[in-house]
Amino acid sequence: MTQPFGARLRAAMTDRGPLCPGIDPHASLLEAWGLPDTADGCERFAMTAVEALAPVVSSIKPQSAFFERHGSRGVAVLEKVIAASREAGCLVILDVKRGDIGTTAQAYADAYLDPASPLASDAITASPYLGFGSLLPMIETAARHGAGVFALALTSNPEAPRFQHARTADGSTIAGEVLAGLRAANEGADPLGSFGAVVGATIGSTDEALDINGPLLVPGIGAQGGTAEDVRRIFGAAVRNVVPTSTREILGAGPSVQALRDAAARANDQFAALL
């Protein structure tokens, strides 16, 4: 990868639109598709989604846990999903939400961001709650290989505000500290930094500054209740950097490849007009 992730993401969003569908082989979705909840069912589900979506969207977001629950065979399927998606010209944002310190954080970085790994992706999600500095091995590895990192900042689960809105000794919030760290990591990047924040579409509102010169991965679209208008209201001037992600609403249209593609096109058009 010769260009930084942020530059590649901006170009892909311009070419294919902003939508980032999730690929989550959840047991209920496998059942809805008439597939067994096995590694074989997981593979048929995931590769059908890749066939439908990877050639037409700018990025996809496989949720690693739904593959890992099938053990080594499930992880092998995830490797296929990553490789096939990238071959189709689609960026892969691997949703792993890893977080640790020192050599363990570096091992996670090597697993997901080093091109030598079979799980190497264009970007990953990460948890900064051992301190923003704990992400440095991932950020530095990503920078070295032209990859990206999305840190959890303002998530929409009901437990989040009590923790993310807590204030540090200098008065800033935990979420604000995460956003400030990302803003510093993206300083001077053009056209877009490679280090983004995860901010839910259903948080209601925020006083935090979301313009971090980096991408904003926004789950909660569609089945979880988030709308394009919510995104416009929450993100304001930073809306052009939003990467909206929708999973159940799109995957629920399967197993028809064309129906999946049509569902993605509808969502993509809605957000392309907004952004």
Please identify every residue annotated as catalytic.
97
How far apart CA 190 and CA 4 sit, in angstroms, is 10
Could you give the CA distance from residue 120 to residue 130 in angstroms, rounded to a whole number? Answer: 24
Structure-token pair, residue 162: 């009590």
Asked if residue 4 has a cis previous peptide bond (ω within 30° of 0), the answer is: no
Query: Do residues 1 and 143 make contact, with C-beta atoms less than 8 angstroms apart?
Result: no
Q: Two tokens at 266? A: 């509808």
- As a whole number of angstroms, the distance between CA 83 and CA 86 comes to 5
| Closest C-alpha among 247, 242, 253, 239 to residue 221 | 247
Q: Is the dihedral of CA 14, 260, 90, 212 positive or negative?
A: positive
First-to-last alpha carbon distance for the chain, in angstroms, is: 27
